């Protein structure tokens, strides 16, 4: 497990941008953290690192935003409004998580996978690399970003 300290929203976005540049097809980024912790800010950086042009915003009310035009497609899911696994699967979100040709960023991922995806999630396969990210507020602008990689 690794930890980064971000001192500003710009640094949080910059870390996401680095990850977007390094992302490979099939990569799943599970983001956890309180409301306003910086999950969407981080995904903005991932999109920029992938070369996605245009505005990136939270898909809280749409559940998913799809961004094309970058090096890889980006699927940005937000589970905030969903409370149960049945609601998540009923919304048809599973198909996105198994896309081997894209990067998938999931806000509130713990609602789907608990603390970290286990083998039963189907994500731990040769097609997926998983980066599990916890973002914690450290005051007005500071963030502790802890992450762990797993998968193939």
The structural domains of the chain, with segments of one domain joined by +, span 2-151
Determine the pLDDT at residue 3.
Answer: 95
Determine the pLDDT at residue 118.
Answer: 53
Determine the pLDDT at residue 116.
Answer: 59
Cα 126 versus chain centre, distance = 19
Segment 41-64 mean pLDDT:
93
CATH 2.30.42.10 fits 2-151, yes or no: no
Determine the pLDDT at residue 150.
Answer: 75
Residue 30 pLDDT grade (very low, low, confident, very high; cuts 50, 70, 90): very high
Residues 64, 78: Cα–Cα separation, whole Å: 6
pTM: 0.89
User: What is the tens place of the pLDDT at every residue in 72-127?
Assistant: 999 999 999 999 989 998 999 988 988 899 999 999 999 988 765 554 444 444 44
Residues 152, 129: Cα–Cα separation, whole Å: 6
Residues 62, 42: Cα–Cα separation, whole Å: 19
User: What is the tens place of the pLDDT at every residue in 115-152?
Assistant: 655 544 444 444 467 899 999 999 989 999 999 987 54
């Amino acid at each position: 497990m690794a930890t980064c300290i971000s001192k500003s929203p710009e640094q949080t976005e910059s870390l996401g941008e680095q990850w977007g540049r390094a992302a490979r097809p099939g990569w799943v980024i599970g983001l956890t953290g309180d409301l306003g912790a910086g999950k969407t800010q981080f995904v903005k950086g991932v999109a920029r690192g992938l070369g996605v042009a245009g505005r990136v915003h939270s898909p809280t009310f749409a559940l998913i935003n799809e961004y094309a035009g970058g090096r890889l497609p980006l699927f940005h899911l937000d589970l905030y409004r969903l409370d149960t696994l049945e609601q998540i699967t009923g919304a048809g979100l599973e198909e996105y998580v198994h896309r081997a040709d894209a990067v998938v960023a999931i806000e509130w991922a713990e609602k789907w996978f608990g603390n970290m995806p286990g083998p039963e999630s189907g994500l731990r396969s040769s097609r997926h690399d998983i980066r599990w990210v916890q973002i914690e507020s450290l005051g007005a602008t500071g963030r502790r970003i802890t992450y762990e990689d797993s998968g193939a």
